Structure 1
C-alpha cells in the first residue's frame, strides 16, 4: 500500500470520528448516545425475609405457684429446698387437715376437672388426624404447601399428646393424694404437678408457699412500641446464641399491654415470650438475640436496589436485551432485604439488568458500552482473530454510535 493511500485512509478515519463526535456533542443532536455501563447483574430468585430484631433472655417457660390455705388445717413442713430439681409427683410440703373429707372432696373435684381436660384434648387429636387425611397433593407448588400443612398438623398432634399426658399424670397425682389421705391420718401432702426447679419458698407461709419453675426454657423480652403492630403470636423466631447454632422457635406471647406503667413521656415496651424447638446448652438467665420473622417470601424475583430508578410515581430498570440494546422497563417493587428488592411485575428470573441505573444518563441509550479490559488482549488472541475479522470489529466499533 502506497504512502498516499495510507494518508487517505488515515484522513477518512479522522473525518469519520470527527463527524460522529460532532453529531453526538452538538446541542439538540438526535443521534443516539451510547451509555457507559460499568456493571450488569442478573435478576435472581431469593427468599425474602422480613424480621424484627429484639434482645431476649432465657427464662423458665412456666412458673407454677402452690398455695397453703390456712383455713384447711395446720402447716407441717416443707419437703424441698430452693434450687432443688423436682419431678411431677415430688412432695413439696405437708399439713394436717382439720376436715379430711372436705379435702378429699376438693381433690376429687380437681381430678375430675383434669380428666375432662385430657378427654377434650383427645377429641382434638382425633379431629387433627381426620383433617390430616383430607390434605391432597396436586401441583408442585400445592405439594409444597400441603407438605407444610401436614408438618404443622403432625407438630400440633405431637404437642397435644404431650399436653394430654401431662393432664393424665396430674389426674393420677390427685388420685394418689386421695388414697394417701384416705389410708392414713389427717396429714395431707401437696405434690408437684410438673417437672422443674424450686424457684421460691415462702417460709412465712405467705402466698404462694412454693413456686416451681419449669425446666423447659422460653426466651422473653420486650418489643419496642414502633414494632409492636408488626408482631403476632404464632410467628416463627430464630434465636442467636453465642458459640451455638441458631435455635428456631415460635412466638407464644405478644403482650397487648405495656411492660411498665403507661406514660406520655416515654415510648412503651411490650412483653413477648418465645418457645424453643430445642434447649440443649441453654441455661436460665443467658442473654440472646431474637429475630421475629414477620414475613417470608419464597423464590422472590430480586434485583439490586441500585438497579431501580424512579420517574414520577413509577419504578423502572434498564434491561439488557438479547439484541444488545437497553430497554427502559417498568417494574413493580415488592419487599426489600439487605440491598435486594423484590420485583413482583416486569421481570422474570435471570434477566440481565444494569447494576447501577444512574450509569445511564439522560438521552443515553439504547446502545451501551462496557469497560475495556486491555489486559485480556494478547498477541496470540489477535493472531487467532484473523485480519478480516479484526477489521470487521474495528469498523463496528468505529460506527457504533
Structure 2
C-alpha cells in the first residue's frame, strides 16, 4: 500500500512538473512565466566624457616685440640681456638725450633772440614816448590857429608837418610797436611750451616692461624689433592628425599633464588650424597645428620645452544617468532597457540615449537613477513578467526558516522548484 501511495505521489509530481514546463515554453501560453535572473544592477549616475589624447610641448603663451622709435632719439644702451627674467616696470633700454638737448638749446636760443627783440621794442617805445611828450608840449605852447595843421612852402612845394600831425604819427608808431611786442611775447610763451615738452621727453627715455616674462632675444644689430619678450605664462602647442582635427574645435576643454609633476592643468583650445603645418602631399599624413591656453597657472613646474600629454574633451555630461551597454536592447530603430520594477515584474521600457564612452551609455529619458535593470536582457526567455533572483546566503537566517510551519516550508520549496 505504501509503495502504491509513493508511486502515486511521484506520478503526480511528474505531471505537475511536466505541465509547468509545457506552459512555460508554449509560445502562446497565457500562464505567467518567471524569469531566473543571474545578473542585474541598478541605474547609476556619473560623468560621461568623450575625449581623445595627443602629445604637445609647453611654450610661452605670448610673445611681446619691443620696438625702437627713432623719432624719440638715438639708442644710448640696452639694459637687459637674453634670458633675463623681467617684471612689469623693469627697465629695458634707454634713449640718448643728445637730440633732445640739442633741440632744447635751439629753442632756448630762439627764445632769447625773441626776448632781445622785445627789449629793443621797449627802448624804442621809451624814446617814442619822450618824443610824444615833447610834441605835445610844443603843441600846447603854440598860439597858432588850431585849424591850421600844415603850411606849404610855395617855392619848394614841400609839405611841413605841424606839431599836431607829429604827435599823431608818434602815437601810431607807439601802437604798432606795442602790437609787435605782444606778438613777440606770444612767441616767447610758445618757446616755453616747446622747451617744457622736450624736457618731458627726458622722463620717457628709459623704456620699461609692461609684462612679466623673460628676454628671448636682443637684436645685436639694433634692428626692429629691438627686443622680444616671452610671457612667463605657459601654453601648449602640438599637432592633430587627420581624424583628431575633425573632432577638435576651439574652446573645447583640455587636460594637460607632464612627466615632471603629478599635477593636472586645465585649459581650453585657443587655436585649431584647418590647414596642415606642411604643404599637403599624398606621400605623407597631414598634421594640423593647435594651441591650448591654460587657466589658473600658479605652478613653476611648467617651463618651455617640457613634453605634455594632452587630453581633449570633445563632449561631456556631468552627473548623468548611466547604464552599461550590455543592458540595452535594439528593436525597429528604438532603444529599450528591461527594468525590474517594484511589483516584482520585468518591464521592457523605451529609453533615449546620448553619449557613450567605453560601453557606458548616458540615458536622457526612460529610467531613473536607482532603478534595478537587467544586465543581459538578450538572454531572457521573456522580456516581461515575474522574476526571481539567486538567494543571498548572507541574508538567510536558519532560525527564520525553522520558525515556519511544515506546510509553509513545503509551499515555498515547491514554489522554488516549480518556478
TM-score, structure 1 normalization: 0.67
Structure 2 residue 192 is the aligned partner of structure 1 residue 214? no
Matched residue of 2:15: which SS? Answer: helix
> Structure 2 CA distance, aligned partners of 1:329 and 1:187?
77
Structure 2 residue 267 is the aligned partner of structure 1 residue 249? yes
- 1:388 aligns with 407
Do the aligned partners of residues 270 and 32 (structure 1) sit closer, same or farther apart at CA in structure 2, a change above 3 Å counting?
farther
Structure 2 residue 323 is the aligned partner of structure 1 residue 303? yes
Q: How does 1:330-345 map to 2 (within 5 A)?
A: 330-345=350-365
- 2:8 aligns with 8
Q: How many residues are paired up? A: 324
Of structures 1 and 2, the larger Rg is shown by 2
Do the aligned partners of residues 33 and 64 (structure 1) sit closer, same or farther apart at CA in structure 2, a change above 3 Å counting?
same
Superposition deviation, residue 42 in structure 1: 1.2
Aligned residues of 2:330 and 2:336 also touching (Cα < 8 A): yes
Aligned residues of 2:256 and 2:265 also touching (Cα < 8 A): yes
- 1:51 aligns with 51
Q: CA offsets, 1:243-286, max 9 Å, x none?
A: 423233344x1234435134153334131222221231423122
RMSD: 3.8
> Structure 2 CA distance, aligned partners of 1:47 and 1:25?
42
> Structure 2 CA distance, aligned partners of 1:387 and 1:297?
55
> Structure 2 CA distance, aligned partners of 1:3 and 1:393?
26
Do the aligned partners of residues 219 and 372 (structure 1) sit closer, same or farther apart at CA in structure 2, a change above 3 Å counting?
same
Do the aligned partners of residues 95 and 5 (structure 1) sit closer, same or farther apart at CA in structure 2, a change above 3 Å counting?
same
> Structure 1 CA distance, aligned partners of 2:278 and 2:226?
28
- 1:158 aligns with none
Q: CA offsets, 1:127-175, max 9 Å, x none?
A: xxxxxxxxxxxxxxxxxxxxxxxxxxxxxxxxxxxxxxxxxxxxxxxxx
- 2:93 aligns with 93
> Structure 2 CA distance, aligned partners of 1:202 and 1:311?
71
TM-score, structure 2 normalization: 0.65
Q: How does 1:119-268 map to 2 (within 5 A)?
A: 182=199, 188-228=205-245, 230-242=247-259, 243-251=261-269, 253-258=270-275, 260-265=277-282, 266-268=285-287
Aligned residues of 1:47 and 1:297 also touching (Cα < 8 A): yes
Question: Gaps spanning 5+ residues in structure 1: where?
Answer: 104-178
Aligned residues of 1:306 and 1:355 also touching (Cα < 8 A): yes
Instruction: Indicate which of 288, 296, 303 corresponds to 1:277.
Output: 296
Matched residue of 2:232: which SS? Answer: coil
Larger deviation, residues 239-248 vs 271-280:
239-248
> Structure 1 CA distance, aligned partners of 2:233 and 2:273?
25
